[in-house]
Amino acid sequence: MSLSDFAIADTCFLIDWSYWSHRNVLFKLFRAVFVPEVVLREVKSERAVEWIAAMLASGQLALYTETSDVVGLATRIVERSRLVPGLRGVDLPEAICLAVGKLRGYVVLTENRGAIMAVDFLEELSGVVIWRALEVVKEAIRRGSITGDPRQVFKLYEEETKHRFSRAELEAVINELEGKAGEVEEAGGGGEGD
């Protein structure tokens, strides 16, 4: 998994993440995480706003003001996502993050399935790296930035953020972290266990 010094976070990722007690581990993985203005406008709660303001003050989060090239590419991504039958449409806020991922090489932090599908299907987004909380937490555990039983770490994230990981993907990640990669596939895959 390649890692940029920089990441850019979209709203659905940032809001969930701000509710997690290990939220500052993000800054052990990236030198700075950019927050587009369009994303910042969506944050309202005292807890999230205070954390974001403190991290902006420390320079670990940074405001990303959209430039015309980013908005241009983002607009094309929005349009293209609606031309592929079966593909979930991408809206402008996520498209801006994807455009920055493409143009600047930042890791895109998102939980938005439309954005994830777009990277899988749209040629103009080839090479864009997307991490959901699942991948961020996994990388933090792998690097030793978070210690403890991985299963408990992911459980805490789900409890504190009310986010739900796919059971099959979570099992695959835990197996990988425990050095058992491949066992799930050999056993015939997972399937949603909820």
Interaction between residue 176 and other proteins (CB under 8 A): no
Type and span of the H or E element at 175: helix 167-177
Token representation of residue 122: 């749209």
Q: How far is the CB of 113 from other proteins (least distance, A)?
A: 6
Distance CA(165)–CA(16), nearest Å, equals 12
**For other proteins, the closer CB: 48 or 55:** 48
Q: How far is the CB of 62 from other proteins (least distance, A)?
A: 20
Token representation of residue 132: 């959901």
Interaction between residue 114 and other proteins (CB under 8 A): yes
Calculate the CA dihedral of residues 84, 86, 92, 94 and round it to 10 degrees.
Answer: -120
**For other proteins, the closer CB: 41 or 180:** 41
Residues 47-86 that bind other proteins (CB under 8 A): 48, 86
Interface mask (CB under 8 A) for other proteins, residues 124-163, using x and -?
A: --------xxx--------------------------xxx
Q: How far is the CB of 31 from other proteins (least distance, A)?
A: 25
3-state secondary structure of 85: coil
Q: Identify the residue whose tokens are 């809001």.
A: 15
Binding residues for other proteins (CB under 8 A): 11-12, 15-16, 41-45, 48, 86-88, 91, 93-94, 111-114, 117, 120-121, 132-134, 161-166, 192, 194
